[in-house]
Structure 1
Amino acid sequence: MASEIPLRNIWILFLYAADLVQLQGRFERDVEQAQDLPDLIGRLMAHVVEDRLHRNLSRGYQARTAVLPRVRGRIDMLATEAGQLMERGQIACRFEEHVMDTPRNRLVRAALERLSARVSVRETGHRCRSLAADFARAGVSARRPSRAELATDQIGRNENADRMMVALARMVFDGTIPTETKGASLQPGDETTEHLIRRLFERAIGNALRIALKPEGWSIAQGRRLAWPVSGTTPGLSAILPGMQTDIELTHPETERHVVIDTKFTRILTRSNHRDEILRSGYLYQMYAYLRTQEHMEQPPSLTSEGILLHPQVGGSVDETLVIQGHPISFRTIDLTAPTTEFASHLHKTATAQARIGI
């Protein structure tokens, strides 16, 4: 599936997935010169980090305690009295220190070090290695931050440079940056590459929908867990009952429309014993369950909720709709292998079309 996707289209998916589509066109030279996916990410990381270092890295505050000769921050009275510090002209203090060693900077250093070992292009690997050393000299430690630490290091609205840098660093670890052979497209047979593109595809569609439809009054939710409308269960069922979680949900309060979108990074058609190609039945059953089980779980009841199964295009395009017990369900494809300009336009049109599927 990923073997025919041009790197430029992967780049567009990343920009939408990272909510940085406004930066499209800023890194054309790096995208043009990249030889494979790791090289592309390495070049972009180096470009953004070099620019960030020229304008100084963002700093953060780190809580510290220390025994000092004068007051700094707050006095720790218990520690001061217990150690009889004042008799020696000292005071135990608690204060925050302005440091470079923030979770986001540690993540970027860790990503640069990983890239330097994984990128096959010597020049790109050297740039990443050199920049990681610059981070070390600036006082950024080598310890990769935890998810909890990253969650506390919120990036402000006006910190696009940092958002880009952190998004690329996350991509390094999300996809584990596989080694690729040279070429203008991704190579087949690498599960980590498939996993990375699948995640980018889902996130990109969600953000493209938000950008296109939020101004029209739609709300967009991603990854919502659904409950089964059960009236009673045996004691052991809850431990083995499968969960339900939607990829994307659109809601328009004014018109009371509700659309469930499921993105699948697989072929939309499969072979059958009786016909050459048919829609994948399992996905149809899944969407049917999403729509019917929630009919009376929402307020007002969702008796006409709509469903869309959105797949990458493999072979011919598909755009078909049926209605099952009042619920329209559409089957659509988007061509990830199209020329970049055409792909970007198609992605936007796909986003704006999702909320207008009526029959």
Structure 2
Amino acid sequence: MKIPIRNLFYLLSYVWDVDWEMEWSAIEANKSGDALNLLTRILTISTDRIIRRGLDRGYKDVSEEMYGVRGRIDIANTIKRNGFANTRLTCNYEELDYSVLHNQIIKTTLVNLSHVNGLDKGLREEVLDLVHRLKDIEPMELNQNVFSKVRFHSNIRGYRLPISVCKMIYDQLLPSENAGRYEFVNMTDEKLFRIFEKFIFNFYKMHLDHTIYTHIKKERLGWQETDFEGGIEDFLPTMETDVSLSNATSKLVVECKFYESAIQSRSMGDLNIKGTFISNHLYQLFAYIKNLEIKDKSILSGLLVYPENGEKVDANYNMQGHKVSIKTINLDLTPQEINDQMLACLIPFQKLAIN
């Protein structure tokens, strides 16, 4: 399933917690063509801003043999190098340096992008210019763990966007058959699903005051009134909602699914016949509601949300006293229309929440 480039940035703006309207005119996502050039454009613009405002620096440990004293004398290494004989001392001290982790991640990602096949020529020139402007920063070896080590605080809040982009680019780059070159692979449905899921959660979190709910969270559930009575091991799966919206009287469980269609088809000979809603998704949602029902005195409802792929779904049911809706979101529309659809998904539950 594909998401238009303009709307991919709209979804990512919620995932990364940035103001898409403010960034839109600068990034010109409509002109980006594909995900590689979109992400590169976001990275070059956000990096340029950081450089103009002033790169962050941090203290770096330095060990140096010198005449005189700076910082703390390293007695062991001075003796080992016979420093006392030639009056040269080994000193350990701290020095402000631009090669802090978040700068190194950006520099290395830009270096890698300069060797990626398929990058727009103009963007490649911008990337190379930024690499030159970051000449004082040492590149590093990137891996999955590096990104989680970045600790954002008020002084480097401007780094959140470019570091998020660097992580996504890193995930999509593979070595090319040509030595020293890279290929940007298309985002898998699994990656797009994670974006869609985080978008749903962060959208409702950001627009909570436009709903009748007061709290939002992912909620881990236990199997209620269930005891393990023997066997090799307890293999009951864990349960965690994608989104739980609640107020003083009601709770709405929202599950996000990224499928080609909300409706599963069945085959009869050479014919593909449309069947029913995907049963496992509905069973999962209902299992969450029924387990919550045992311990939670709120009015409980459920919502299944899919991206729309040529077939609009807007179905509402009352299942054993619980209102359940199945909706699709058309990601081909404008961001404002997607915004309106997201809020409209909650309309069937408003009366329940107020009563």
2:105 partner letter: L
Q: Deviations over 1:288-346 (max 9, x none)?
A: 112222334x5xx2564222111111234222222333332221111101144433443
Q: Cα 1:288–1:100, aligned 2, differ >3 Å: closer, same or farther?
A: same
- For residues 253-292 of structure 1, what are the structure 2 equivalents within 5 Å? 255-266=248-259, 267-272=261-266, 276-292=274-290
Q: Cα 1:178–1:11, aligned 2, differ >3 Å: closer, same or farther?
A: farther
1:36 is aligned, of 34, 37, 58, to 34
Match of 1:234 in 2: 230
Q: Cα 1:111–1:83, aligned 2, differ >3 Å: closer, same or farther?
A: closer
2:31 partner letter: Q
Q: Cα 1:262–1:49, aligned 2, differ >3 Å: closer, same or farther?
A: same
Query: Could you say which structure has the greater relative contact order, defined with CA pairs below 8 angstroms and 6 or more residues apart?
Result: 1
Q: Deviations over 1:150-177 (max 9, x none)?
A: 4443223465532221122122134459
Asked if the contact 2:250–2:298 (Cα under 8 Å) also holds between the matched residues in 1, the reply is: no
2:43 partner letter: M
Could you tell me how far 1:55 is from its partner in structure 2? 2.7
The reply on whether 1:308 has 2:303 as its aligned counterpart is yes
Q: Deviations over 1:255-292 (max 9, x none)?
A: 14222211111121122479734211110011111222
Asked if the contact 1:42–1:119 (Cα under 8 Å) also holds between the matched residues in 2, the reply is: no
CA distance in 1, matches of 2:331, 2:216: 23
CA distance in 1, matches of 2:232, 2:11: 42
Aligned length: 332
Structure 1 unmatched ranges of 5 or more: 180-189
1:249 partner letter: S
2:164 is aligned, of 164, 167, 175, to 167
Higher deviation after alignment, 283-292 or 57-66: 57-66
Asked if the contact 2:44–2:127 (Cα under 8 Å) also holds between the matched residues in 1, the reply is: yes
Secondary structure of the 1:232 match is coil
The reply on whether 1:192 has 2:187 as its aligned counterpart is yes
Structure 2 unmatched ranges of 5 or more: 177-184
Secondary structure of the 2:316 match is strand
Match of 1:342 in 2: 337
TM-score normalised by structure 1 residue count: 0.77
Q: Cα 1:256–1:104, aligned 2, differ >3 Å: closer, same or farther?
A: farther
Match of 2:15 in 1: 17
1:310 partner letter: V
2:9 partner letter: W
Asked if the contact 2:255–2:305 (Cα under 8 Å) also holds between the matched residues in 1, the reply is: yes
1:262 partner letter: E
Q: Cα 1:325–1:156, aligned 2, differ >3 Å: closer, same or farther?
A: same
Could you tell me how far 1:210 is from its partner in structure 2? 0.6
Match of 2:182 in 1: none
Q: Cα 1:101–1:28, aligned 2, differ >3 Å: closer, same or farther?
A: closer
Could you tell me how far 1:18 is from its partner in structure 2? 0.7
Asked if the contact 2:65–2:88 (Cα under 8 Å) also holds between the matched residues in 1, the reply is: no
TM-score normalised by structure 2 residue count: 0.78
Match of 1:122 in 2: 121
Greater share of strand: 2
Secondary structure of the 2:317 match is strand
Match of 2:44 in 1: 46
Higher deviation after alignment, 349-358 or 279-288: 349-358
Could you tell me how far 1:212 is from its partner in structure 2? 0.9
Match of 2:216 in 1: 220
Q: Cα 1:141–1:70, aligned 2, differ >3 Å: closer, same or farther?
A: same
Match of 1:156 in 2: 153
Asked if the contact 2:329–2:341 (Cα under 8 Å) also holds between the matched residues in 1, the reply is: yes
CA distance in 1, matches of 2:55, 2:123: 21
CA distance in 2, matches of 1:81, 1:142: 30
Bigger radius of gyration among the two? 2
Asked if the contact 1:38–1:115 (Cα under 8 Å) also holds between the matched residues in 2, the reply is: no
1:327 is aligned, of 300, 322, 333, to 322
1:268 partner letter: A
Q: Cα 1:28–1:64, aligned 2, differ >3 Å: closer, same or farther?
A: closer
Q: Deviations over 1:225-258 (max 9, x none)?
A: 43333312435223x4333232222232xx1422
Secondary structure of the 2:350 match is coil
